[in-house]
Amino acid sequence: MLKIKNIQTFYGNIQALKDVSIEISEGEIITLIGANGAGKSTTLMAVSGIVPPRSGEIFFMGEPITDMEPDKIVSLGICQVPEGRRIFPYLSVTENLDMGAFLRNDKAKIKKDMEYVFDLFPILADRRHQAGGTLSGGERQMLAISRALMARPRLLLLDEPSLGLAPLIVKKIFEIIGKINAENNTTIFLVEQNANLALKVATRGYVMENGRITLTDSSKNLLANEDVKKAYLGF
């Protein structure tokens, strides 16, 4: 479904991605793990068209999207929940969700989907008129995921959804990630530093170091891999 082929990405003269290749099939959950500054977020931003690669190619459903405008990429069904959530602070919860559905015109179905995300996260329903900027960290993460779901994505890019959240909320968010994948067959590309958690929900994983993919395998093998254990699993 998504095919990233040998991309190189630069910020000015600094090379952030070196010859990165990643492939995801439809319906899969895969994860990309790595330390701070490895280039994980840059990879997602390249897919979303925010930081286009200098060379290499990206295909979605066989179509090249390497130099496509970000809004075109969203219209193909690729949505990102970026690092830091980036909730619109002065828009209400409902308006944030409306923005998630910006490219859709089917009013009735949008309303239904809003009910669906309010079912997933009932706390958001209670806060629906509140400004996004007044939400707690956990609520923001829920809203960020809900906002992406409002676009009915075929491929969901999630950047460190567990960051800064209490264990209980992390557990809930990961349950819902599994649920979204199972119920809607949404393909999920999960970036995480919490490798333990990520490898449990994903079927395969990629390990990134200094802008390079250094290892890729099934989650089971990665969880058993000595190097991965030492570097990312904390034992």
Which of 1, 2, 7, 16 forms a contact with ligand ATP (CB under 6 A)? 16
Query: How many CA atoms, within 13 angstroms, populate the side-chain half-sphere of residue 89?
Result: 4
Nearer to another protein by Cβ, of 94 and 216: the residue is: 94
Q: How far is CA 198 from the centre of its chain?
A: 12
Extended strands (E) in 102-175:
155-159
229 binds, among ligand ATP, Mg ion, another protein, none (CB under 5 to 8 A by kind): none
Nearest distance, CB of residue 36 and ligand ATP, angstroms: 4
DSSP 8-state assignment for residue 39: S
CA gap 138, 46 in Å, rounded: 26
Q: Which residue, 74 or 228, is less far from another protein as judged by CB?
A: 74
H or E stretch covering 173 = helix 167-184
Binding residues for another protein, per CB under 8 A?
48-50, 69-71, 74-75, 79-80, 82, 86, 88-91, 95, 98-100, 102-103, 147, 151
Q: Which two tokens stand for residue 27?
A: 């319906």
Q: Of 31, 41, 66, 141, which one interacts with ligand ATP (CB under 6 A)?
A: 41
Nearest alpha carbon to residue 146 among 175, 129, 124: 124
What does 71 bind: ligand ATP, Mg ion, another protein, none (CB cut-off 5 to 8 Å by kind)?
A: another protein
Q: What whole-number distance in Å separates Cα of residue 129 and Cα of residue 136?
A: 15
Residue 100 binds ligand ATP (CB under 6 A):
no
14 binds ligand ATP (CB under 6 A): yes
- Nearer to Mg ion (CB atom), residue 37 or residue 89: 37
- DSSP secondary structure string for all residues of 117-135: HHHH-HHHHHTTTSBGGGS
Contact positions vs Mg ion (CB under 5 A): 41, 83
Applying CB under 6 A, the residues found at the interface with ligand ATP are 11, 14, 16, 34, 36-42, 83, 193
